[in-house]
């Protein structure tokens, strides 16, 4: 009787893990309000697993604590934040940073493996579908018939795109993650992998977000070098040069890349993406120095940066509620130099553990996010927090990846 009951529980657990993994893998296609429910579903799966296996599963509290140095520092910063309401609202966004690693620790090795496999394949396919939908949407908006330019279409992709409501920079990060997962652990059929890769890379370039594009190609080259896959590396270089060359025939994309080389579009220019970032970085650094490197607390960062921009003459930018557009500077503004160092220590703790294990995939995933952080305050939005937590914890807490990647050596 007990054996039959255990068998039924195992079957139920397998089905539940597959269903939750599929739902979480659809993250990129879910509307903004539904995305947090992926965390809720995953936590429920983990709690059921913990109850089922009782004391047989040990939670890795050390890794969870180190992973949440940033969350702890943000919570402590509330003591010197003036706007506590906004501070608690922002702190609420960071809950997935705590819940997702705990949930991963509650899962059995078999459940983690099943979850990872389904999640990865679903996420890749969902991202490919998103890319296809973008081109269909561009066609409907009249881009290919020259009725509207890309800048006009980007605003519709952000606010009107089938109710998903996602900023192109975050979509680009999703596509980059899907591309990395495809290189790390793609489908068995090579032709399918090639088709999916081209769909994703086309979507990545049509959105023309420089930060994710540069970050992806740096770490993808590194991944193939570490794996000693020279043929794949050469193919990637050819594809990159080919797609990049074709994209340069599109004026908007060409101008977005060439603006980096034009000092008039970078220095004190509030009309280009590169120029805006330069202004925000400079003002953020000035504020960090004024705070004696202690930060202003997560509740006050937005208002402090807004006032600084206004005082320096950037009135329009001050009204747009911009963040620092650099996660490291954002941390410096919110939790100060000490908090920033604690975040880096936790980040490098996991990075060095991957290096020690010769886990090339874990290395490039962490390096990818470290590069994205240079161009975007990625953890300021809950969408960024959730996907960052899922992807990084998948490598930190999953024995499936540890086992497979040890086989590389």
SS3 content of the chain, % helix, strand, coil (to 5): 80, 0, 20
Query: Average pLDDT for consecutive 10-residue bins of the chain (409 residues)?
Result: 62 84 96 94 90 69 92 93 93 95 88 91 97 94 86 84 87 96 88 92 91 91 82 75 75 69 58 83 93 89 93 86 92 93 92 88 93 94 95 82 44
Q: What is the pLDDT of residue 14?
A: 78
Q: What is the pLDDT of residue 275?
A: 84
Q: What is the pLDDT of residue 1?
A: 55
Question: What does the block give as tokens for 315?
Answer: 């009135």
Q: What is the pLDDT of residue 271?
A: 66
CA distance 84 to 43: 28
Q: What is the pLDDT of residue 409?
A: 39
Q: What is the pLDDT of residue 369?
A: 96
Of 53, 63, 56, 67, which is closest to residue 96 (Cα–Cα)? 67
Q: What is the pLDDT of residue 406?
A: 44
DSSP 8-class letter at 209:
-
Q: What is the DSSP string of 243-271?
A: HHHHHTTSHHHHHHHHGGG-GGGTTT-TT
CA distance 379 to 340: 13
Helix orientation angle between 382-396 and 37-53, rounded to the nearest 10 degrees: 30
Beta-carbon count within 10 A of 188 CB: 6
CA distance 315 to 205: 32
Q: State the chain's maximal CA–CA distance in angstroms.
A: 77
CA distance 132 to 28: 13
Tell me the Cα Rg of the chain: 22
Beta-carbon count within 10 A of 150 CB: 19
- Give residue 208's region: left, alpha or beta (phi > 0; psi -120 to 50): left
Q: What is the pLDDT of residue 403?
A: 47
């Amino acid at each position: 009787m007990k054996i039959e009951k255990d068998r039924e529980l195992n079957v139920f657990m397998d089905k539940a893990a597959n269903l939750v993994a599929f739902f979480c893998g659809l993250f990129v296609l879910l509307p903004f309000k539904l995305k947090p429910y992926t965390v809720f579903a995953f936590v429920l799966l983990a709690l059921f697993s913990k109850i089922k296996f009782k004391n047989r599963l040990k939670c890795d509290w050390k890794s969870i604590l180190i992973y949440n140095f940033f969350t702890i520092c943000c919570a402590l910063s509330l003591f010197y934040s003036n706007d506590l309401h906004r501070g608690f609202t922002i702190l609420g966004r960071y809950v997935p940073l705590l819940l997702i690693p705990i949930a991963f620790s509650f899962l059995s090795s078999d459940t983690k493996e099943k979850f990872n496999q389904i999640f990865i394949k679903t996420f890749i396919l969902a991202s490919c579908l998103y890319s296809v939908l973008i081109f269909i949407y561009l066609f409907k908006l009249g881009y290919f018939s020259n009725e509207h330019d890309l800048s006009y279409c980007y605003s519709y992709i952000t606010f009107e795109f089938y109710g998903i409501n996602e900023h192109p920079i975050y979509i680009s990060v999703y596509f980059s993650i899907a591309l990395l997962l495809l290189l790390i652990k793609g489908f068995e059929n090579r032709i399918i992998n090639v088709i999916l890769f081209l769909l994703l890379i086309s979507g990545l370039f049509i959105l023309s977000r420089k930060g994710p594009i540069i970050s992806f190609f740096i770490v993808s080259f590194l991944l193939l070098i570490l794996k000693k896959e020279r043929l794949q590396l050469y193919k990637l270089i050819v594809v990159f040069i080919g797609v990049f060359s074709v994209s340069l025939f599109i004026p908007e994309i060409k101008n977005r890349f060439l603006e980096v080389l034009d000092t008039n579009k970078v220095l004190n220019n509030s009309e280009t993406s590169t120029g805006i970032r330069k202004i925000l970085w400079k003002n953020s650094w000035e504020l960090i120095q004024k705070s004696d490197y202690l930060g202003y607390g997560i509740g006050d960062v937005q208002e402090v940066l807004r006032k600084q921009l206004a005082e320096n003459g950037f009135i329009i930018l001050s009204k747009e509620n911009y963040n620092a557009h650099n996660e490291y500077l954002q941390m410096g503004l919110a939790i100060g130099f000490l908090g920033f160092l604690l975040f880096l220590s936790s980040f490098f703790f996991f990075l060095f553990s991957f290096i020690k294990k010769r886990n090339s995939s874990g290395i490039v995933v962490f390096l990818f996010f470290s590069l994205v952080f240079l161009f975007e305050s990625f953890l300021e939005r809950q969408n960024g927090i959730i996907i960052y937590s899922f992807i990084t914890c998948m490598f930190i807490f999953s024995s499936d990846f540890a086992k497979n990647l040890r086989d590389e050596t």
